[in-house]
Amino acid sequence: MEYVYAALLLHKEKKEINEANISSIIKASGATVNEAQVKALIAALADVNIEEAIKAAPVAVAAPAAAPAGGAKEDKKEAEVPSAKTEEQAMEGLSALFG
């Protein structure tokens, strides 16, 4: 996945997407470069118009919730307040990430 991100970064910065540039970005990120993956990516992108591929990519956009009618404002406030159990679970997940 980091190879694709490197290619997208190069594209955004209007730099040439080649083996040397992809390898440089991967090295700069601290990851080990797999030359076979770099070559495979370059070959796969040879006939791809990245700008068109980006435009055609599906985008997940969260639609805003419809405003409830009448006195449902109180229900909305209750829905916005996260439960303590949910926050505790989130904190446990974060602590698992950072040790």
d(CA 1, CA 5): 6
The tens-digit pLDDT sequence of the chain (99 residues) is: 899 999 999 999 999 999 999 999 999 999 999 999 999 999 999 999 999 988 888 876 665 666 555 555 555 555 555 555 566 666 665 555 554
pLDDT for the residue numbered 90:
64
- Give 2-56's CATH code, choosing from 3.40.50.920, 3.30.230.10, 1.25.40.10, 1.10.10.1410: 1.10.10.1410
